[in-house]
Amino acid sequence: MTEWSLRGSYFESCNCDAICPCRRIDGRAGGRSTHGVCMGLLSWVVAQGNAAGVELGGLAVAIVCRYDDDEVGSPWSFVLYLDKRGDVRQRQALEDIFVGRLGGSALVHFPWAWKPSYLIAVRPAQIEVDHTPRRQRLRIGKRVEVRISGSASEGHEVTCVIPGHERTGEELHAELLRVDDVAPFKYEYRGVCGYGSDFDYSSEEQG
């Protein structure tokens, strides 16, 4: 088994209303997405990371995704963006981790890794990202833009499976969520939800 570990900061946005009903709110399990079909963007900035001796610190990863609550198994379709500042070995290591090939935390935190899902494309990209709490920003060329405008937790404890329900996080308002990639990833939403936290994944976490 390839040994790997990643830690850093995380934020996401999707077309659900805040607080996203998919999250765990005050310890209560989440449910269906607001509109039945979830369209979203997930992003990670790796502060420290290593996979079989390949250094991964300082690199960013993003995923645009879609799933339908009413489709059998609600499989995820997704496009994976890898920081083009990374070399071939670094990008391959990040791809293997984030699609779930290396197991570990991916099989606990990434629904697209434990469900039958569809990886539509893997794209090296210029990822411009700022994970400043309550002011997160992300841009991927002309394909993706996300802007967070503030907190939406409203006194509730809100957690998300992707960074982990054991971690402190914050529900957010998204000023803009725009994606212009291959179908079905062509959409623009304003005033939707977001979420920010930190993450700590490894090959040892098997669930």
56-88: pLDDT as tens digits: 999 999 999 999 999 999 999 999 999 999 999
In a domain, 139, yes or no: yes
How does residue 96 score in pLDDT terms, banded at 50, 70 and 90? very high
Q: Which of residues 205 and 78 earns the better pLDDT score?
A: 78
> Is 80 in contact with 123 (CB distance < 8 Å)?
yes
How does residue 206 score in pLDDT terms, banded at 50, 70 and 90? low
In a domain, 32, yes or no: yes
* Cβ neighbours, 10 Å, residue 123: 16
> Is 76 in contact with 118 (CB distance < 8 Å)?
yes
CA-only gyration radius of the chain, Å: 16
What would the two tokens of residue 12 be? 């996401």
In a domain, 174, yes or no: yes
How does residue 126 score in pLDDT terms, banded at 50, 70 and 90? very high
How does residue 205 score in pLDDT terms, banded at 50, 70 and 90? confident
Provide the domain count of the chain.
1
* Cβ neighbours, 10 Å, residue 126: 12
> Is 203 in contact with 3 (CB distance < 8 Å)?
yes
Write out pLDDT tens, residues 9-56: 999 999 999 999 999 999 999 999 999 999 999 999 999 999 999 999
Decide if pLDDT at 207 tops 70. no
In a domain, 207, yes or no: no
Residues 6+ apart with CB under 8 A from 6: 44, 46, 48, 49, 56, 97, 199, 200, 201, 202
- Predicted TM-score (pTM) of the model is 0.96
> Is 85 in contact with 169 (CB distance < 8 Å)?
no
Q: Which residues in the chain belong to E strands, given as ranges?
A: 4-14, 24-25, 37-51, 54-55, 60-68, 77-83, 118-125, 127-130, 137-140, 144-151, 158-159, 169-180, 186-189, 192-202
In a domain, 196, yes or no: yes
The domain in which residue 100 lies consists of 4-202
In a domain, 146, yes or no: yes
